Every structure is written in C-alpha cells, then in structure tokens.
Structure 1
C-alpha cells in the first residue's frame, strides 16, 4: 500500500513538474521533508535496525527527487 502511494506521488509530481515546472518545487520539497522526518525517526533504532528502518524513506525521497527532475528535464527538451 505504501509502495503504491509513493509510486502515485512520483507520477503526480512528474506530471506537475512537466506542466508547471516552477510550481512543482514546493510540493516536491514538502514531500522530501516529510520522508526525511520518517528516515530520521527510523534511524533512531539501535544498530543495524536503524539503517534498515530508514532505508525505505531514503529511497522514496530519492525517487521523488528523480521524478520531479525528470518532468522538468522533459519539459526543457520540448520544442515549444
């Protein structure tokens, strides 16, 4: 369920970045901030469990950033 939510969020951010590149920065940063808070909370677990709990949040944050930048990059390549 969470994976589907992250995928849907990435798709929405990519479309938003393609249509409105400047206005897509704020939702992208907000999403990355909330995922960063989850990663910090998961990282407080002791030892290897901390890395294990925070890894999904780090990879989701990276995916959100890549989808936003991909939408803006596709917009730059368009001829209009």
Structure 2
C-alpha cells in the first residue's frame, strides 16, 4: 500500500506541474477512495479502528500535499 501511495503522489505531483487544472479531478478521486477506506477501517472497535484508518488518512493527506506542491511549483515559474 505504501508503494502505491508513493506512486500516486508522484504521478499527481507531475500532473499538477504539467496540467494544473486537470490534476484536481484525479486528486479528488484518490482522496475520495482513501476516505472510504478510512471510514471502513474506522468501524473496527476501539483502538483497532484508529490503527486501521490511519494509513488511509495519512495517504489522503499525502495525496493532497503532492498535488498542491506540483501546482505551487508551476505557479512559481517565471513564464
């Protein structure tokens, strides 16, 4: 799962740099998918719920940051 999140983050950063407007749709779709996993993992009782949902929450946060970083880098270009 970690490798998949890293690959998605890298793809979104590149997409955000090359095509900033188009990168939002895949980013939101990925965050929506990870949100479903987080909600399902959170239904486990007690401590297990937090443990199972944490990778999905941190993955969603990483996806959002990488897409924003690509768009921010594009915005800093001089042309």
* 1:14 maps to 2:5: no
CA distance in 2, matches of 1:7, 1:53: 19
Shift of 1:9: 0.5
Q: Which residue of 2 aligns with 1:25?
A: 24
* 1:3 maps to 2:2: yes
TM-score, normalized by length of structure 1? 0.98
Q: Any idea what the Cα deviations from partners look like across 1:17-66, whole Å, max 9, x if unmatched?
A: 00000000000000000000000000000001100100000000000000
After TM superposition, the structure 1 = structure 2 runs for residues 31-70 of structure 1, keeping only pairs within 5 Å, are 31-70=30-69
Q: Which runs of 5+ in 1 are unaligned?
A: none
Misfit runs of 4+, over 6 Å = none
Q: Which runs of 5+ in 2 are unaligned?
A: none
Cα RMSD (Å) of the superposition?
0.4
CA distance in 2, matches of 1:10, 1:33: 14
TM-score, normalized by length of structure 2? 0.99
CA distance in 1, matches of 2:4, 2:30: 12
